[in-house]
């Protein structure tokens, strides 16, 4: 599959234990021209995902008796393909659940009930955002030098969603990569929360969400360099990438 070729049918996976909801989502998404595979539980989905990955996954969190099955499945999927677009679609709307889902690297967190038209538009939007970032089944592209941004000791490759700090790879989710890239593109200048929220390309984002992502980014870079201090907080406004 060539990702820039939209004549190729995109493959969507739905993991939802309610049969009526599962079939409604499947029918609505198929009407938009996508190939859809639907699963009723985590084990069934994971078995198929071991063979190949879809282009986007819609996950419920509670699957049968497994109250956090969706979170576990998201973690498994993103360990295989960090850039895979994952959407949580769930009745669990507490802020802690939303933050947990986004911290795992999900691209969006939607609450039930949902308009089927909105769901299909959101899927199309995220697929287009991801176009050019990955090749078949989420494998990173080999990018040219034009795709690389170098700011001091930081190197970001936008096509491959790869980050290097002092030549050491940093494992970031797609959302974390986009936030870091937005920050690093304007070194020594404060970037507002609003700009960082837009960079996530997600519909449900708060300042606390951004703070959580920044905490995770700092933590991951500090695994490679304990002295890392380039991300500075701008109290009440946002963050700044500091280059001396």
Out of 138, 162, 184, a domain closes at: 138
Domain end position, chosen among 98, 118, 138: 138
Q: Is there a single domain that holds both residue 132 and residue 150? A: no
CA-closest candidate to residue 57, choices 32, 83, 95, 33: 83
Q: What percent of the chain has pLDDT over 70?
A: 88
Residue 103 confidence (pLDDT): 77
Is residue 26 a part of any domain in this protein? Answer: yes
Domain edge (last residue) among 115, 138, 161: 138
Summarize pLDDT for 92-115 with one digit per residue, the tens.
988 888 878 877 888 888 999 999
Residues in a beta bridge with 134: 140
| Residue 67 belongs to domain with CATH number | 3.40.50.2300
Domain match, 100 and 123 both: yes
CA distance 171 to 183: 17
Report the CATH number that the domain containing residue 193 is assigned in CATH: 1.10.10.10
Rounded Cα–Cα distance for residues 106 and 160 (Å)? 18
- Strand 148-151: give its sheet, edge to edge: 148-151, 154-157, 162-165, 168-170
1, part of any domain: no
Q: What's the predicted TM-score (pTM) here?
A: 0.58
* Residue ranges for the chain with pLDDT beneath 70: 1-7, 130-147, 159-160, 203
């Amino acid at each position: 599959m060539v990702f820039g070729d939209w004549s190729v049918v995109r493959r969507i996976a739905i993991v939802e234990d309610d049969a009526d909801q599962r079939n409604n989502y499947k029918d609505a998404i198929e009407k938009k021209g996508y190939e859809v595979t639907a699963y009723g539980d985590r084990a069934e989905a994971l078995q198929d995902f071991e063979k190949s990955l879809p282009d986007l996954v819609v996950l419920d969190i509670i699957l049968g008796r497994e109250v956090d099955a969706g979170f576990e499945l998201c973690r498994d999927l993103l360990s295989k393909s960090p850039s895979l677009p994952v959407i949580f679609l769930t009745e669990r709307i507490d802020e802690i659940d939303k933050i947990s889902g986004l911290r795992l690297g999900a691209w969006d967190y939607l609450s039930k009930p949902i308009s089927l038209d909105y769901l299909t538009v959101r899927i199309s939007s995220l697929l287009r955002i991801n176009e050019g970032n990955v090749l078949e089944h989420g494998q990173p592209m080999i990018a040219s030098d034009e795709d690389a941004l170098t700011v001091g000791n930081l190197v970001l490759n936008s096509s491959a969603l790869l980050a290097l700090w002092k030549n050491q790879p940093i494992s970031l989710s797609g959302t974390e990569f986009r936030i870091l890239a937005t920050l690093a593109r304007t070194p020594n200048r404060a970037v507002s929360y609003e700009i960082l929220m837009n960079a996530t390309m997600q519909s449900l984002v708060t300042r606390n969400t951004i703070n959580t992502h920044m905490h995770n980014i700092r933590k991951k870079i500090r695994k490679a360099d304990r002295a890392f201090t380039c991300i500075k907080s701008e109290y009440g406004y946002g963050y700044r990438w500091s280059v001396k």
